[in-house]
Structure 1
Amino acid sequence: MSRIEEYVQAATRDNTRRSYASAVEHFEIQWGGMLPATADRVAHYLADYADSLSLNTLRQRLAAIGRWHVDHGFADPTKTNLVKRTLKGIAELHPYREKQAAPLQLTQLEALEGYWHAELEVGATTSGETLRILRNRALILLGFWRAFRSDELCRIDVQHIEFGAGAGMTLHLGRSKTDHSHGGTTYRCPALSRLCPVKACQEWLSASGIKTGPLFRGVDRWGHMRNTGMHANSIVPLLRKELAGAGIEGAQYSSQSLRRGFASWANSNGWDIKSLMEYVGWRDVKSALRYMDTADPYKKQKIEAGLLKY
């Protein structure tokens, strides 16, 4: 791979690269499309999957097909009026409501903490199981209180963490989804009186002996750790397995549940939208509101309070 190819590849996030490759494969292999493609064939592809794939998935497939054409020097058929109008018609005839992961609640974090404490108190776990409990506790608590995405959690390096005595810790991520300037982002995480992510991370580092490299990494049953970081796709099954251990049905939860859970908790506890956006790193209000669940979604309390005046 040439230096230029290396830099070009680095400009695209790993998750995006994988999803685009999967989308192109779906178009070619599963549907039987030919690349380069005509606008007519792309429109037929959309029509064939209009009632089985979500609008967001179709848009992602179009983005991947369009990127393939641009990267290979061909005209992009996804930008034609035919394809655009076909997608617009699908949106009209097949309205789709985006499914959102359930937000993790503080009571569920408490249940998880009780489960972890009980497992560690038993003392009958293997070294690998003990390490996994400590790792998972640190990952989930940090993911919740800092509202991190899965890929952000997996890219935290130990050498970029600084612990402040009693105050909290500072983490620096070299890149993230919203860091378009590629200057990196520094996050501060407070030390808390309970459910503390700072203490959980310190205990995980102390037990694992990790001095450099990824903070969160795979651990086998004998306690051997990988040198590489965990994959972002492993966070969802990890979270659901931990919830199941605590007696909580986990099917409705995903990695976004940590982010949505914190946003909803902060909103219910009086955080103004500006403070929440600054803390999480959202650049627009729409992104923030999409993650927030209010304690009174039907506005019953507000309406009832108004009725009492008459």
Structure 2
Amino acid sequence: MSRIEEYVQAATRDNTRRSYASAIEHFEVGWGGMLPATADRVAHYLADYADSLSLNTLKQRLAAIGRWHVEQGFVDPTKAILVKRTLKGIAELHPHREKQAAPLQLAQLEALDGYWKAQLELGTATPSETLRILRNRALILLGFWRAFRSDELCRLEAQHIEFDTDTGMTLHLVQSKSDRSHGGTTYRCPALSRLCPVAACRAWLNASGIKKGPLFRGVDRWGNFNKTGMHPNSIVPLLRKELAEAGIEASRYSSHSLRRGFASWANSNDWDIKSLMEYVGWKDVKSALRYVDTADPFMKRQMEAGLRKTESEDA
């Protein structure tokens, strides 16, 4: 690979490359399309999957097809009026409600922590099982209290963590989805009286002896660590496995449950939206509100308060 090819590849995230490659394979192999494609064939592709794929998935497939054409020097058929009108018609006739991961509630986090402590106190876990418990506890508590994405958790490195005994820890993430300037992002995580992510991370680092490289890694049955960090796709099965073993129905949860859980907890504890956005790193209100579940979804409390105010004024 030449230096230019290396830089071009680095400009696109690994997840994006895999997603686009999968979309192109689906168009060519799964559907039988040919590249380069005409606008008519792309429109037919959309129509054939309008019933079975979500609108967001179809948009992602279009983005991949369009990018392939541009990179290969062909006219992008996805920009044609026919394709745009087909997609708009699909949105009108097949309205799709976006699925969101259930937020992990504080009570469930408490139950998880109780399960981890019980396993450690029993003393029956093997050394490798103990390491996995400490790792999973640090990963989930940190993921919740810092509202990290899966890829952010997997990109954290031990040498970029600084502990302050009294206040918490500072984490520097060299690269993340929201870091458009590629200058890295520094996060601060407080030490808490319970469910403490700082104590959990310190315990994991002390037990593992990791001083440099990925913070969260795979652990084999002999207690050996992978040299590379965990893959973002491994976080969902890990979280669901831990929840299930703690006696919590796990199928509703994904890695976004940590982020949504913290956002909902902060909202219910009267964080203003500006403070929440600054803490998590959201750049616009729309992104933040997608993750927030209000404690009073039917707005009953506000309505009843208004009714009482009206009643007192009438009296």
TM-score normalised by the chain length of structure 2? 0.97
Q: Does 1:171 align with 2:171?
A: yes
**Matched residue, 2:91:** 91
Q: Does 1:204 align with 2:210?
A: no
Q: Using the TM superposition, name which of 164-173 and 147-156 deviates more.
A: 164-173
Which consecutive aligned stretches of 4+ in structure 1 deviate over 3 angstroms post-superposition? none
2:219 aligns to what?
219
Q: Does 2:272 align with 1:282?
A: no
Aligned AA (1:10): A
* Stretch moving more, 228-237 or 168-177: 168-177
The 2-side partners of 1:291 and 1:153 are apart by 18
How far apart, CA to CA, are the structure 2 residues paired with 1:126 and 1:71?
52
Q: Which residue of 1 aligns with 2:125?
A: 125
Percent of aligned pairs with the same residue?
Answer: 82
Instruction: Summarize the alignment of residues 27-46 of structure 1 with structure 2, pairs less than 5 Å apart.
Output: 27-46=27-46
Long gaps (5+) in structure 2: none
Counterpart of 1:25, as a letter, is E
- For structure 1, which runs of at least 5 residues remain unmatched after alignment? none
- AA matched with 2:155: R
Query: For residue 174 of structure 2, what is the amino acid of its counterpart?
Result: G
Q: Which AA in structure 1 matches 2:3?
A: R
Q: Distance in 2 between matches of 1:71 and 1:161?
A: 39
- Give per-residue Cα distances to partners, 1:169-210, cap 9 Å, x unaligned: 111111111111111111001111100000000000000111
CA contact (8 A) 1:138 1:201 kept: yes
Q: Please tell me the residue identity of whatever aligns with 2:248.
A: I
Quick one: distance in 2 between partners of 1:95 and 1:50?
A: 10
Match of 1:250 in 2: 250
Contact in 2 for aligned 1:116/1:137 (Cα 8 Å):
yes
CA-atom RMSD in angstroms? 0.7
Q: Is the 8 A contact 1:172 1:187 kept in 2?
A: yes
Q: Is the 8 A contact 1:157 1:213 kept in 2?
A: yes
For 1:220 and 1:28, the matched residues in 2 are separated by 38
Distance 1:37 1:9 in 2: 24
Classify the secondary structure of the residue corresponding to 2:5. helix
Cα distance between partner residues in 1 of 2:233 and 2:60: 18
In 2, Cα distance between equivalents of 1:172 and 1:82: 47
Deviations 1:202-221, CA, capped at 9 Å, x for gaps: 00000011111000000011
CA–CA separation in structure 2 for the residues paired with 1:301 and 1:46: 45
Equivalent residue number for residue 148 of structure 2: 148
Which residue of structure 1 lines up, in the alignment, with residue 109 of structure 2?
109
Counterpart of 2:51 in structure 1: which amino acid? D
Please say if residues 126 and 222 of structure 1, whose CA atoms lie closer than 8 Å, have aligned partners that are also in contact: no
- Return the letter of the residue paired with 1:287: S
Partner of 1:62: 62
Q: Which residue of 1 aligns with 2:157?
A: 157
| Cross-structure match for 1:82 | 82
Once the two structures are superposed, residues 71-107 of structure 1 have per-residue CA deviations (whole angstroms, 9 ceiling, x without a partner) of: 1111111111111111000000000000000000000
Q: Map residues 297-308 of structure 1 onto 2, 5 A cutoff.
A: 297-308=297-308
The whole-number CA distance in structure 1 between the counterparts of 2:158 and 2:170 is 11
Once the two structures are TM-superposed, the CA of residue 165 in structure 1 deviates from its matched residue by 2.1
CA–CA distance in structure 2, aligned partners of residues 209 and 221 of structure 1: 17
Instruction: Please state how far the C-alpha of 1:127 moved relative to its aligned partner.
Output: 1.0
Residue 166 of structure 1 deviates from its aligned partner by 1.7
Q: Distance in 2 between matches of 1:308 and 1:187?
A: 44
Post-superposition offset of 1:67: 1.0
Corresponding position of 2:231: 231
SS at match of 2:218: strand
* 2:272 maps to 1:265: no
Which range is displaced more, 298-307 or 88-97?
Answer: 298-307
- 1:84 maps to amino acid: K
The code of the aligned residue for 1:133 comes to I
TM-score (norm 1): 0.99
CA distance in 2, matches of 1:171, 1:72: 40
Task: Provide the rounded CA distance (Å) in 2 between the counterparts of 1:89 and 1:31.
Answer: 21
Match of 2:185 in 1: 185
Whole-angstrom CA distance in 1 between matches of 2:77 and 2:11: 23
SS at match of 1:169: strand
TM-fit CA distance, 1:32 = 0.4
Q: How far apart, CA to CA, are the structure 2 residues paired with 1:291 and 1:95? A: 21
Query: Whole-Å Cα distance in 1 between the matches of residues 232 and 203 of structure 2?
Result: 22
